[in-house]
Structure 1
């Protein structure tokens, strides 16, 4: 038993050393990335993300270059040229992002797409004109990923426990010690361990290999692409039946709502994208299985996938006319087209042709990040044109300047708010001469367009709702009879931190504390005395609901609240408390609020 464990550990160590020898340039890039992480840990104020992602891209490029070399070339000079190409492309990526002041959404998304395309290339290259299919290569990577994740999690947990034990029981360690240890685990061990599972796939060098070495190579490849019995059971008898039930529900919804909600339901879009991804992944994993469940799945589900994704893609395209094209919808539409193509390939071509979907993915990824047809250039142009068109239609754009106009339809107000909000979130406002740089700062939006922001309201139980106080209509707040006024901000992502903090309030030479209290989904404001005795608990959630309802009921020209409509009061025998909401929004089951708390002790 002990000998088997020692032998297994020895084989793993040999595998790690072989992976380092096999991917030397990748190892250099990983060392560089680990060094960058060290600097990021030690200098938290510095931003090294550009360097970190540059080295990550370099590591992936060098891995793909090695795969290409092993599959199609044999000479050392050819390997050097491929590695040189990987270095040049890495440098090109760095200079492409160097001009940006920050690692923003656009750079981050394009980097993510590039990483995804390189991973697809890593899986696809060994199967190009090879006896190894794309499905087998995919299964090998799938197994390697989860084995690596398991080993990495165990090692990371164990080392963290050791660092903690040393710090608590023996001597004090720097508070960053654990971060440095995790850096080694995740930046160096995990990727090299993952690569050690990559078998020596068939390539041009095989003509020079004979005898035992060739047999050993074929056994290693066969082991890597073999589907374990446990995974086969999981796919065939659990995942496929669950996917079937989910498919029936989606089909029923599509058929029942084909003339109604299907074309306007934004919540359905991510569900269908998730469904398409699931079907494609399960199909690839089930491609080499020969049990009845897997065979039925391969014959039926791709054909079901085509109409579902096609309808959803058409619905997404139709929404462009109303809401414009954002980079998110660009990718949803592009993925829809890819899913239809994948469904056709799975339905009408042999399993050995599944590798075509990798080629399509790589091509689509390149299209989505290379100007002028990339997701961000196209969406920026579309949103600016939609904003211009809406402003021009309402006579609000003259001689390159925006003319304020409050007398326009609510639909156009929402369109203007939505497009300006998107352009601002993507940092495109600075490039538009006729919009102020800080358009949402203070009253800039209202001064520019003549009205406050108007967001889509789908009802309080829906996606979002927004209410705000119109200070122009109600410039004063009566605080007579109140002892103190406190400014507060509710942030759902800071709720725990805010709950721990208490705002000291002194009234009549006595000390009190104002706290934010969370109880599940409920949120309260609490006043306690110096003995921590709670005097009142104000139901903030109920107050926000009431104010949002007041906003919903507004009619006529005024679409913002008066002081009275933005105020809610609660009192008991000890305290009278009121809140005056400057603005509150409800989104994704969370409240954000900027408000004033008025306190009167009785």
Structure 2
């Protein structure tokens, strides 16, 4: 046991020495997190992700050096290249006002490509196959996750015990400890499991080095049992269910079914991952899986890709649809490769993944440029067909078909959610604020009816555009939150004193929705308001489903209820509606007449 611990500690020390530039980036990541924790302020995500990308680039460059190079000067050149690429990444994102969905997605895709390169490079023209390298990384990940979780739990318990039993510890101590574990320990521990694979300068590796490689790529008996007798049979059952579903529902509306696409994509990912893991196994179950399932994968992927392409004709290209179709093409190639080539050629799919990832993030054919151009063209085409676009300006027209209204609403909503409106001169930036949409196009937003009952509705007050609320005419202001599922909140009383008279405002759950009751000192009810009616008035005619929801001015966000005794104005700062449940935050302005 002592010897194993010593060897593991030596492995961690060797990992630090083996990946020096990566260690510097990891220290930078931990430092920027520590500063953020200490100052209780958000860190600059652009610096953080630059350091993460830099760490991954330097790890891949070290793998390239070990596999193909022999001179120290080549190593320094690769390190320099990693630094330049990391700097280029920072220059590419620093002009963005926020770390938006485009930058986030491109960064995630780039990191995924680097991860694939990290696994693939040691297997290029090597005795070690991609399947073995993948198995090594797979084991290292789960062992690291287990050790990190145990370490995090243990340190958290120690900090808590000291704070409760001995002396007070700053609440920041826990965050600092987690930062060290997950920013430094976890990646270094993971890299310590990566053996030095055979390279150009390692033609005559020592027996000890070869044994380390063999141990790293070997499949533990328990993992072999798990893959062969649990994961593969479960995948087979999932396949049968999927095929039965396809056969029973194969008709016209089948291709437009929103359930189909994510179901087929998830199945494809599962089969590819299980196939790669099973490629390192030598038993009947694994061999049968490798022989049959890739051939089933091909028609399944064709279904998924056709369904995705059909959706383009309806809604145009979005960045999500772009990636789904590109994944479909990749999966089709993977199915063909798995079906007709030996398992030692599996590394080709890593090369294809890296190429596809690069295509999807490099303009002008990247996912976001293609989707933006397509959505703008679809919008212009729809407007032009209805004589609503002349000399670069929009002409309002309410007398167009419902389908065209939906297309216009959908495309404008997508462009707005991606912050592309700033690049389109003939569209106002705050298109969904107040009545801008109606004033621009001549009609209110129109959304698809399909599945509407189960989709989320959301509206919120735009405080930036409406920072001031006039309250001089009211006697009191009350802040309330309403959530239908919080039954224990029913009957809660809020005492209010106005001109030496006491009143009580009560939230009462009645028939699944809260009613608000205001009574005086004699327990006489002055007014009763149904919260559902208030929220429906906000969401009613101009409701938005999904995305960022509808942005409201103070006027649009205010609902009034009054009688000859009381006036109550409800200023809804935010309201969510899903599956007959409402969650709202609001201010109630009260005036006793």
Same fold by TM-score, threshold 0.5 exceeded?
A: yes
Alpha-carbon distance between aligned partners in 1 of 2:132 and 2:578, rounded to the nearest angstrom: 44
| Kept after mapping to 2: 8 A contact 1:456/1:465 | no
Deviation at 1:419, TM superposition (A): 0.8
| Kept after mapping to 1: 8 A contact 2:560/2:567 | no
Alpha-carbon distance between aligned partners in 2 of 1:408 and 1:598, rounded to the nearest angstrom: 41
Aligned to 1:56: 52
Instruction: Specify which of 119, 124, 139 is matched with residue 123 of structure 1.
Output: 119
Structure 1's 115 and 228: CA in aligned 2 closer, same or farther, altered over 3 A? same
Alpha-carbon distance between aligned partners in 2 of 1:505 and 1:448, rounded to the nearest angstrom: 45
Structure 1's 320 and 587: CA in aligned 2 closer, same or farther, altered over 3 A? farther
Correspondence 1:8 to 2:4: yes
| Kept after mapping to 2: 8 A contact 1:457/1:466 | no
Alpha-carbon distance between aligned partners in 1 of 2:510 and 2:259, rounded to the nearest angstrom: 28
Aligned to 1:446: 438
Correspondence 1:315 to 2:307: yes
Structure 1's 581 and 61: CA in aligned 2 closer, same or farther, altered over 3 A? closer
Correspondence 1:72 to 2:68: yes
Unaligned runs of 5+ in 2: 461-474, 544-557
Instruction: Specify which of 138, 142, 145 is matched with residue 142 of structure 1.
Output: 138
| Kept after mapping to 1: 8 A contact 2:506/2:516 | yes
Deviation at 1:256, TM superposition (A): 2.3
Aligned to 2:468: none
| Kept after mapping to 2: 8 A contact 1:106/1:376 | yes
SS at match of 1:206: coil
Alpha-carbon distance between aligned partners in 1 of 2:517 and 2:35, rounded to the nearest angstrom: 45
Structure 1's 595 and 102: CA in aligned 2 closer, same or farther, altered over 3 A? closer
Q: What is the 5 A alignment of 1:189-588?
A: 189-209=185-205, 214-463=206-455, 505=496, 509-513=501-505, 524=514, 586-587=577-578
Deviation at 1:197, TM superposition (A): 0.3
| Kept after mapping to 2: 8 A contact 1:29/1:55 | yes
Query: Which deviations, in whole Å up to 9, do the C-alpha atoms of 1:421-449 show, x marking residues without a partner?
Result: 11111110111111111111111111111
Alpha-carbon distance between aligned partners in 1 of 2:88 and 2:42, rounded to the nearest angstrom: 23
Alpha-carbon distance between aligned partners in 2 of 1:444 and 1:594, rounded to the nearest angstrom: 25
Deviation at 1:460, TM superposition (A): 4.8
SS at match of 1:241: helix
Deviation at 1:451, TM superposition (A): 1.4
| Kept after mapping to 2: 8 A contact 1:455/1:466 | no
**Matched pairs, number:** 555
Alpha-carbon distance between aligned partners in 2 of 1:503 and 1:244, rounded to the nearest angstrom: 59
Alpha-carbon distance between aligned partners in 1 of 2:542 and 2:441, rounded to the nearest angstrom: 21
| Kept after mapping to 2: 8 A contact 1:16/1:192 | yes
Alpha-carbon distance between aligned partners in 1 of 2:568 and 2:121, rounded to the nearest angstrom: 68
Structure 1's 432 and 26: CA in aligned 2 closer, same or farther, altered over 3 A? same
| Kept after mapping to 2: 8 A contact 1:303/1:343 | yes
SS at match of 2:504: strand
Deviation at 1:174, TM superposition (A): 2.2
Deviation at 1:526, TM superposition (A): 6.2
Deviation at 1:257, TM superposition (A): 2.3
Aligned to 1:557: none
Aligned to 1:111: 107
Alpha-carbon distance between aligned partners in 1 of 2:48 and 2:573, rounded to the nearest angstrom: 41
SS at match of 1:359: helix
SS at match of 1:130: coil
Unaligned runs of 5+ in 1: 469-482, 553-565, 570-574
Query: Which deviations, in whole Å up to 9, do the C-alpha atoms of 1:244-289 show, x marking residues without a partner?
Result: 1111111112222222232101222111111111111000111121
Structure 1's 581 and 450: CA in aligned 2 closer, same or farther, altered over 3 A? farther
Alpha-carbon distance between aligned partners in 1 of 2:36 and 2:62, rounded to the nearest angstrom: 30
SS at match of 1:371: coil
| Kept after mapping to 1: 8 A contact 2:431/2:437 | yes
Deviation at 1:39, TM superposition (A): 2.2
The worse-fitting range, judged by mean Cα deviation, of 576-585 and 313-322 is: 576-585
Deviation at 1:309, TM superposition (A): 1.1
Alpha-carbon distance between aligned partners in 2 of 1:302 and 1:113, rounded to the nearest angstrom: 25
Alpha-carbon distance between aligned partners in 1 of 2:448 and 2:577, rounded to the nearest angstrom: 11
Structure 1's 261 and 586: CA in aligned 2 closer, same or farther, altered over 3 A? farther
| Kept after mapping to 2: 8 A contact 1:330/1:375 | yes
SS at match of 2:194: coil
Alpha-carbon distance between aligned partners in 2 of 1:225 and 1:530, rounded to the nearest angstrom: 77
Query: Which deviations, in whole Å up to 9, do the C-alpha atoms of 1:504-531 show, x marking residues without a partner?
Result: 6557832535559899xx6645669999
TM-score by length of 2: 0.84
Alpha-carbon distance between aligned partners in 2 of 1:81 and 1:14, rounded to the nearest angstrom: 27
Tell me the C-alpha RMSD between the 2 structures: 3.9
